[in-house]
Structure 1
């Protein structure tokens, strides 16, 4: 029995030019098809490039893309995977300094924090609101958003990719 199909997006926010062919090879191996990314300069980091890709694949492709690029120096990226039968929508964010953040998302892309994660923040805080705030900030991936936001802004004239509902 095959896995349910889903869609997603890969946003490479910054990569050194020497890394680009290796990234394409890695993405090709995960998706099982030839892709050629349209690399453009990254205005937030002169000398680095950016690219994005809408993909279709089996459930779990987003996690596989994320893990195959994990740990590459100077690489900033995000991967999304839309909800599919038996799986919530997900977003992964990666920065060289923070590593990978993974969050479940709603239909609007908002990070959803589970009841257990909220309880953990309360328990760890032991009545200290600053600790609870810090733990909830981690659960929401705020540090990743802060670091990636300057890289997310598309260069003038960059193409817009529209995502479609699966299912």
Structure 2
């Protein structure tokens, strides 16, 4: 079924527009959606799939300057980082001068994507806020 998006002005970037869509789909649908949006290089987007029984949640964030960030999320929506990725970050910081552990952790948790996207997350004047999620 075709989906009609309601577009409104994006106050965070005058001259641009925003749309939000609440959706439901099978687990994994968010990855296909993020892949389709990734071809539109001037978009900023977030696609969030909530955790369901037997499936972790996932969040995809994209900005033209940073590219794509993907993270597994908890039932509370927080980014989770695996033990092996944390170990790798610590080892990189210990082995290489100039590699800052704090910066590595910020990268693993998507902090720079959050900082860049935050002004765009707020709805414009009177625009509704809608959450993207999938339920299995």
Q: TM-score, normalised by structure 1?
A: 0.73
Aligned to 2:68, which of 100, 108, 123? 100
Aligned residue number for residue 22 of structure 2: 54
Query: RCO (CA 8 Å, sep 6+): is it higher in 1 or 2?
Result: 2
1:113 counterpart residue number: 81
What do residues 23-53 of structure 1 show as CA deviations (whole Å, max 9, x unaligned)?
xxxxxxxxxx210001010001111110111
Change (3 A) 1:100 1:163: closer
2-side partners of 1:37 and 1:105: how far apart? 26
Distance 1:34 1:163, change over 3 A: closer
Q: Which moved more, 1:59-68 or 1:71-80?
A: 71-80
Provide the residue aligned with 1:155 in structure 2.
124
Counterpart contact for 1:78–1:94, Cα < 8 Å: yes
| Alpha-carbon offset, residue 164 of structure 1 | 8.3
Task: Name whichever structure is richer in strand by fraction.
Answer: 1
> Does structure 1 retain, via aligned residues, the 8 Å contact 2:20–2:129?
no
User: CA RMSD of the aligned region, Å?
Assistant: 2.2
Q: Name the counterpart of 1:82.
A: 50
Match of 1:70 among 38, 47, 58: 38
> Which 10-residue stretch deviates more, 152-161 or 133-142?
152-161
Gaps of 5+ in 2: none
Q: Give the gaps of 5 or more residues in structure 1.
A: 1-32
Q: How many angstroms apart in 1 are the aligned matches of 2:128 and 2:69? A: 26
C-alpha spacing 1:150/1:144, structure 2 compared with 1 (3 Å)? same
